[in-house]
Structure 1
Amino acid sequence: MDKNLFSSCPICGNKGFIIKHNSSGQDTITFCTCREIDKTRLLWKVSGIEKERNRLTFGSYKPYNEASKKAKGAAIAYFKNFNSIKSNRRNSIAFLGQVGSGKTHLSVAIGLNLLSKDIPVVYMSYRDEILKLKQNILDEEFYVNCLRKYKAASVLIIDDLFKGKINDADINIIFEIINYRYMNNLPIIVSSEFTAERLLYFDEGVGSRIIEMCKDYMVEILGKENNFRIEG
């Protein structure tokens, strides 16, 4: 574990607890306040989006038309309502469709705001992580631990779902992750160039679960006029 993540605490000497001696000869142990600080630092570090905390925020997302305004509104509404829906089946949000419409920006912005409330979030770059999982599928310990990270995260961001060439192995891996989260009511924040209809057509098992989980917060952005990279 990276020791630089943790405080140099003058109170407990970096032990994380304090031993107090009383007159009866019995010692009592109490946790030091630095534990909570270190827990928060570690939470940000393992999220995978710590480096974006000053860049991909709600404030830095500037709506450039009506569709982007609605997308930002949905993202903020989802964050505000998160605590009341997090244990429900329909506790997730999806940003689908047009390239360059800010889907990743809004997904990460939600994650950053949840982290600021000490809600654990894990970021999964679909293309990078699927490739890593397939390359290490014979290393059972690595594969299982990596998969568990995404299956069991309190909140999971899946960025650019189904980006690039896709085969049966890709679908099987993502189904295992999505199905586990579906069965256990664990929220997902999904961005994909696929529309809801295409997700459903491409793989009904994965698509139908995502659609049900994200039904109350399904953001579809269609048309090249919504690509701020070329229209902005």
Structure 2
Amino acid sequence: MQKICSIKIGQPFSMKEIKMQTRNELFHAAQQKIAAYRQQAIMTAEAKRSAAYSNPLVVEANKAHNRAGLNLAKAAAIGGNIEKAKKELVEANQALEDTLKQAGYSDASFSPIYHCPKCQDTGTKDGVPCECVANVARCLRRDEINAASPLGLCQFNTFQVERYSDQPEKELGISPRKYMEKLLRYCQNYAEKFSQNSPNLLFMGRTGLGKTHLALAIADSVLGKGYDVLYTSSAALAAQLGKEHFNYANNDEWLTACQEADLLILDDLGTEYITPLTISVLYELINTRMLTHRPTIYTTNITDQNIFVARYTEKVSSRMLGGCKMFKFFGDDQRLK
């Protein structure tokens, strides 16, 4: 797992549009990385051996060992004192070992050091994929999300509820701080008990109120439990799906990746360029994830449900609004603080 950077909430972060891999692509990428680990381990071990055998004393001891082996082979082939040849080979072998030890090398010095001792970086154990493949795939996914979002900054323990007002909010009946404390606990519990039966979530509110932070904190926790999590901004998704629609060679890979992820974070709904294609693909994505019981977390700055319906059509918005637990965020822009 990657180390979490200790950077204050509100520090600017540059969002990038990064293409996420499908589950199968991620699995193959993990296998390739593990194969590279194995190759590197073997090459490193060979380099150590070469360095050891360039030592003048080791060179001489190795020559004596080779001569003894050759003498034994000759004795066996054309006749000779085999027992004497065997004894000389044993002595030469011991002399070589002693010389290597004097030069600072042990029996294990030339053995490859694998990342995964269980499968020796082959990626399989007892005929099935080793758990290291899933671990590497999870790290690769984390790298992808980190490149596209401030995942490394957005943890539950960095969500500072004290930044929110402690003055009662008329619409809430309590202060935004109390409300956000409850919402934080709900999100922590959601992540802790995450499963296919977890509900979809819709975070609504003005810019800078912590919607993306909490969504990514859930993603980070769920990812750590071994689930496949995919993050994308709504604008990046719409742009990429538009490109794929007119590029038949890609076969809608992003849509597939979004459909099959255990948890999808669809950030900043309302920032994408709306076209009939966008609406059609968004409907397909939402409907497929609902039918296959794969939870989705949406965030949006749109707080008026009528605007939501007008923008996404009743067909799409009814599935989002009706199929989600909705949470409205209150308070002042935390980024400005």
> Which bracket does the TM-score occupy, shorter chain normalised?
0.7 to 0.9
What amino acid is aligned across from residue 49 of structure 1 in structure 2?
Answer: I
Q: Does 1:74 align with 2:170?
A: no
* 1:42 aligns to 2:142 (yes or no): no
Q: Which of the numbers 300, 304, 309 marks the counterpart of 1:200?
A: 309
Out of 143, 146, 154, the residue aligned to residue 56 of structure 1 is 154
| Residues 1:227 and 2:322 are matched in the alignment | no
**Pairing of 1:72-111 with structure 2 (within 5 A):** 73-81=182-190, 86-88=195-197, 91-111=199-219
Task: Give the match for residue 124 of structure 2.
Answer: 17
Q: Considering only aligned residues, what root-mean-square deviation do their CA atoms show, in Å? A: 2.7
How far apart are residue 110 of structure 1 and its match?
0.5
Shift of 1:75: 4.5
* 1:102-155 deviation line (CA, Å, top 9, x unaligned): 111111110001111112211122111211111221223424222111112111
Q: Give the secondary structure class of the aligned counterpart of 1:119.
A: coil
Report the more deviating stretch, 158-167 or 180-189.
Answer: 158-167
- What is the alpha-carbon distance in structure 2 between the residues aligned to residue 176 and residue 85 of structure 1? 24
What corresponds to 2:5 in structure 1? Answer: none
Counting matched residue pairs gives 214
Cα distance, 1:15 vs structure 2: 1.2
Aligned-pair identity (%)? 23
User: Partners of 1:195 and 1:220 in 2: how far apart?
Assistant: 8
- TM-score when scaled to structure 2? 0.56
Q: Residues of 1 paired with 2:286 and 2:200: CA distance?
A: 12
1-structure distance, mates of 2:309, 2:128: 49
Mind listing any 5+ residue stretches in structure 2 that lack a counterpart?
1-28, 38-114, 165-174
The one of 255, 280, 283 equivalent to 1:172 is 280
Q: Which has the higher relative contact order, 1 or 2, with Cα contacts under 8 A spaced 6 or more apart?
A: 1
Partners of 1:138 and 1:69 in 2: CA distance: 49
Greater shift in the superposed pair: 204-213 or 38-47: 38-47
Distance 1:220 1:82, change over 3 A: same
Larger Rg: 2
* Distance (whole Å) between structure 1 residues aligned to residue 245 and residue 267 of structure 2: 21
Structure 1 gaps, min length 5: 19-28
Partner deviation per Cα, 1:178-218 (whole Å, 9 max, x = no partner): 11112222100111111261323432222211122223xx1
Determine helix, strand or coil for the equivalent of 1:157. strand
- The answer to whether the 8 A contact 2:262-2:294 is kept is yes
Contact between 2:203 and 2:298, CA under 8 Å: does it hold in 1?
yes
Q: After TM superposition, which residue ranges in structure 1, 4 or more long, deviate above 3 angstroms?
A: 2-13, 29-32, 50-54, 81-88
Matched to 2:121, the amino acid is N
Mapped pair 1:163 → 2:271? yes
What is the identity, as a one-letter code, of the residue corresponding to 1:137? H
TM-score by length of 1: 0.78
